[in-house]
Amino acid sequence: MVQEDWYAATEALLECVRLNSAHAEGTAALAECYYELGEFDQALSWVRKARTLARSSMPLANLEATTLIALGRLGEAQTIITDILKREPYNLEALFAGAELDVARGHSGDAVIRYREVARRFPDDKRLLLSLALVLCSLGDLEGARPYIERALLQHREDYRVYYYASYIEAKAGRFPQAIRYAEQALDYKPGYKPARALLASLRYRSGQFEEAAALADQTIAEDRGDLAAWYLKGMAYISLGRISDAMNILSQASGIDPNDEFVRSALEDLILSNTSLEDPLRTRWASWHFNRARSFRSRSLTDQALFEYRRGLRLNPYARDRLEYAEILRIQGYPARYLEELRFLRSNNLNDPAINDAIEAYDALLADALYRRWDADPVEIAKRHWKVAVFTIASDGAFYHAEAGAVGSAYVRDLLIHDRNIAAPDLTLKQPSFSTAFRTAREEGADYFLIVTVSENERDLSIKGELFVGRTGSPAASFYTYRTGDDRLRNASRGLVDQLSRALPFRAALIRRRSSQGLIDKGRADGVKNEAEYDVVKKGQSVIRNEGIGLVYSPEDVVGKLRIERADEEVSMGILTREGFFDRIGIGDEIILQNEKPADNPADAMVDPELRSLLRNLRG
């Protein structure tokens, strides 16, 4: 255990408790080993056995609390911590556990207060100094973190962990040369220390030293072929070096080790999209994985997940016959017009199938009474996205577990917005050097808003933060946040963020046809329009985006009428127009608006930081 060889220690301790199941010290040590291995369920089982053998042990109570925090069972952890502190108000491990609990709840500011209170009694404690530096760093107070990390370096000159955390904090401040030196010192004091080598590889990559980053990744792969983060980093380094064929090979091998690794698969698919033709067999091969997965979700009635996988597959191979299955889901969801569009697309690409031709003929007849036909409004021609949101990530906000995590996350968000019927996400460079360049790019593009995406993760959890800014002014508009754990966490977190953004934007449509008191708008049931809903009719060109926050601004004089929906079809809706004032000023092209209440921002200190949680957890002991 002193040598941190947890596997060998576990083997010996299992034999110990086999010989004597009531051996309290061996049972407690076994719990500690499983905790260090990240097997928290098993650690909890053993620590509870140990507590039955040593009921008064405060260290075991603290270990149970921290294990429960790692498992996300925060209420149970709080009960144990409160009990310990009632008995021993200044129990250092319990105070640390309490601060870790604050971080797990997204209250990092409270953790800083708790740490500073403890620091008055234990001013030179190494773990305390490092914890304070890390939490302040996560809150963006890089200068506030500096004195604590410098004191730790001064007092613990030969501790490899101190150099490792110092490297991390310097990197967060963008001081890469110093961060690299600290990471190298950590490896000097403990050669083969895997976290320091992974951090150094990430720093080499972010500093543009791609050959060196790939070499470090090779060392990790040689020791552990199952380390997907190392495979991924090597692939990204080869992409940056222009070795596209080698990068494809590396990422393909990595995907073979774990087909469900979202970062590896996303990097590989983006590489295939940008370097192969539509007819390339590679596209068919990698798209089929998504289609098979979609069918699995569909068989379990998980429709949203199935739609996502079909769309990812069709992104690679748009002419795949599997589009027919995707169309079938749209039909079942109650969207016959979109179903018909998909069938026509298949037929236009020379898929001559009698069943498809029969379905097209049947649904053509079924939709004969559809509003868009009665009003002579072609859904393809009238389709318009009334919001333009540019999606970016900032290069300096790079994560360490996966290089370019922000770029991958922002790409997922933008791909999801392609299927949002009211938001257009322009195809701009995702990775921007700074906020100012992102602002300039969005403004020159004419975007209503731009979204800055930040990804934080550890080996189990992932969070995505999206900060929305007004494209015209660069002022803050709103903040969105999602946290997911387990499989498909990148997909689910991205979907959660897009859902929040879509709900936050006010409903916006256009009046495209008018017959006396009846009006037709270019949005329907698929866009959330419901019968009896009532909207403002605002004179064309008079509404403007708010300078700050989300919303549209227009004067009461610009409201020329109201529209009450009588029939909401799939693609369009028809309603009764009521004029404002004596004269009828309602005209084609006027805007149909329903203002939302201002969405509540997620305060920064209420956002769980998975990367910080992992770093604090590894500080234990």
* pLDDT of 595 over the 50 cut: yes
> For position 598, what pLDDT does the model report?
54
Q: What are phi and psi of 518, to 5 degrees?
A: -95, 145
Please tell me whether residues 552 and 573 are part of one structural domain. yes
Provide the pLDDT confidence category of residue 603 given band limits of 50, 70 and 90. Answer: very low
Better-scored residue on pLDDT, 595 or 223: 223
Strands 449-457 and 461-470: antiparallel
Instruction: Specify if 82 maps to a domain.
Output: yes
Instruction: Specify if 554 maps to a domain.
Output: yes
Q: What angle, 0 to 180 degrees and rounded to 10, lies between the N-to-C axes of helices 281-299 and 303-316?
A: 170
* pLDDT of 55 over the 90 cut: no
27-44 per-position pLDDT tens digit: 999 999 999 888 999 999
> For position 597, what pLDDT does the model report?
61
Please tell me whether residues 511 and 468 are part of one structural domain. no
Provide the pLDDT confidence category of residue 75 given band limits of 50, 70 and 90. Answer: very high
Instruction: Specify if 57 maps to a domain.
Output: yes
CB atoms near residue 68 (< 10 Å): 25
* pLDDT of 502 over the 50 cut: yes
Provide the pLDDT confidence category of residue 545 given band limits of 50, 70 and 90. Answer: very high
Please tell me whether residues 115 and 153 are part of one structural domain. yes
> For position 165, what pLDDT does the model report?
94
Domain boundary among 505, 531, 559: 505
Structural domain count, the chain: 3
* pLDDT of 599 over the 70 cut: no
Please tell me whether residues 200 and 91 are part of one structural domain. yes
Please tell me whether residues 588 and 446 are part of one structural domain. no
> For position 249, what pLDDT does the model report?
96
Please tell me whether residues 179 and 113 are part of one structural domain. yes
Residue 555 tokens, joined: 């004067």
Map tokens 């409004």 to a residue: 377
- In angstroms, the Cα distances linking 588 to 8, 170, 220, 505, 567 are 76, 58, 64, 23, 19
Which of 425, 422, 374 is CA-nearest to residue 523? 422
Q: What are phi and psi of 614, to 5 degrees?
A: -65, -45
What's 570's domain CATH number? 2.40.10.410
Please tell me whether residues 501 and 513 are part of one structural domain. no
277-309 per-position pLDDT tens digit: 988 999 999 999 999 999 999 999 999 999 999
Residue 282 tokens, joined: 């590679």
Better-scored residue on pLDDT, 458 or 523: 523
Instruction: Specify if 432 maps to a domain.
Output: yes
Domain boundary among 189, 221, 253: 221
Could you tell me the pTM of the whole model?
A: 0.85
Better-scored residue on pLDDT, 8 or 401: 8
Q: Is the dihedral of CA 457, 460, 465, 466 positive or negative?
A: positive
Provide the pLDDT confidence category of residue 606 given band limits of 50, 70 and 90. Answer: low
* Radius of gyration of the CA atoms of the chain, in A: 28
Provide the pLDDT confidence category of residue 421 given band limits of 50, 70 and 90. Answer: confident
% pLDDT > 90, the chain: 69
> For position 123, what pLDDT does the model report?
85
Please tell me whether residues 151 and 99 are part of one structural domain. yes
* pLDDT of 596 over the 80 cut: no
428-449 per-position pLDDT tens digit: 999 999 999 999 999 999 999 9
In b/e form, how buried is each residue of 543-561, taking b as 16+ CB within 10 angstroms? bebeeeebbbebeeebbbb
* pLDDT of 138 over the 50 cut: yes
> For position 458, what pLDDT does the model report?
84
What average pLDDT score do residues 521-525 get?
A: 91
Instruction: Specify if 80 maps to a domain.
Output: yes
Please tell me whether residues 191 and 169 are part of one structural domain. yes
Residue type, position 600, single letter: A
Please tell me whether residues 61 and 91 are part of one structural domain. yes
What average pLDDT score do residues 89-116 get?
A: 90
302-360 per-position pLDDT tens digit: 999 999 999 999 999 999 999 999 999 999 998 998 899 899 888 888 777 888 888 98
Residue type, position 612, single letter: L
- In angstroms, the Cα distances linking 193 to 90, 189, 198, 331, 616 are 33, 9, 9, 55, 17
Q: How far apart are CA 211 and CA 238, in angstroms?
A: 8
* pLDDT of 604 over the 50 cut: no
Q: How far apart are CA 472 and CA 447, in angstroms?
A: 8
What average pLDDT score do residues 264-288 get?
A: 93
Provide the pLDDT confidence category of residue 250 given band limits of 50, 70 and 90. Answer: very high
**Residue 375, Cα to own-chain centre: how many angstroms?**
42
* pLDDT of 601 over the 70 cut: no
What's 474's domain CATH number? 3.40.50.10070
> For position 621, what pLDDT does the model report?
56
* pLDDT of 71 over the 70 cut: yes
* pLDDT of 192 over the 60 cut: yes
> Across all residues in the chain, what is the average pLDDT?
90
Instruction: Specify if 584 maps to a domain.
Output: yes
Please tell me whether residues 494 and 581 are part of one structural domain. no
% pLDDT > 70, the chain: 97
Please tell me whether residues 406 and 543 are part of one structural domain. no
Domain boundary among 505, 530, 551: 505
> For position 605, what pLDDT does the model report?
42
The secondary structure element, H or E, covering residue 237 is: helix 228-240
- Domain extent, residue 74, equals 6-221
> For position 493, what pLDDT does the model report?
93
Instruction: Specify if 236 maps to a domain.
Output: no
